[in-house]
Amino acid sequence: QVQLVESGGGLVQAGGSLRLSCAASGRTFRSYFMGWFRQAPGKEREFVAGITWSGDITHYADSVKGRFTISRDNAKNMVFLQMNSLKPDDTAVYYCAVSTTILSTTPGTYRYWGQGTQVTVSS
C-alpha cells in the first residue's frame, strides 16, 4: 500500500510560481514511476508531468513544457512539481500518482493517488 499526500497549492496571480510537493509512504518508493495530473471543473483528469524511478527521464504535457519541472528525492520519498509562468488555464486540482509498471500519460496506469491540492491562478 502506498499513501500520497500533496501540498503547496494555493492562489497565485498569472505569471507567478508555485511548487507542489508530494510525500509518499512505502519502502520501495525509489522503484516507482511518479506522475502529476490535474483536473479542472467539468474536465477530464489530464497528465501534466511524469518521471522515472531514477529521475533520468521526464515527460511533460505540451501545455506545460518549458514552464513546469518535475523532480524527485528518493531519499526523502518526495516528488515535486515546480510551476512557473502560471496561467489561468493551469487552474485545477493537482494530483500526484504512482505507477508500479511504466511511465505513462494515462490515468488508468497509475495505481495510487493522493487527495489532490488546489491551484488557482487569477488573471
CA–CA distance, 44 with 90 (Å, rounded to integer): 14
**Contacts of 1 by beta carbon, 8 Å cutoff, 6+ apart:** 25, 26, 112
CA–CA distance, 66 with 109 (Å, rounded to integer): 25
Rounded mean pLDDT, 39-43: 96
Is it the case that residue 29 has pLDDT exceeding 80? no
Task: Kindly report the average pLDDT of the chain as a whole number.
Answer: 94
Is it the case that residue 90 has pLDDT exceeding 90? yes
**Contacts of 63 by beta carbon, 8 Å cutoff, 6+ apart:** 89
pLDDT confidence bin for 1, thresholds 50/70/90: confident
Q: What percent of the chain has pLDDT over 70?
A: 99
pLDDT confidence bin for 31, thresholds 50/70/90: confident
Residue 91's pLDDT is: 98
End-to-end CA separation in angstroms for the chain? 40
Indicate the SS3 state at residue 93.
strand
pLDDT confidence bin for 27, thresholds 50/70/90: low
Q: Encode burial over 19-53: b for 16+ CB neighbours within 10 A, e otherwise.
A: ebbbbbebeebeebbbbbbbeeeeeebebbbbbeb
Rounded mean pLDDT, 72-91: 96
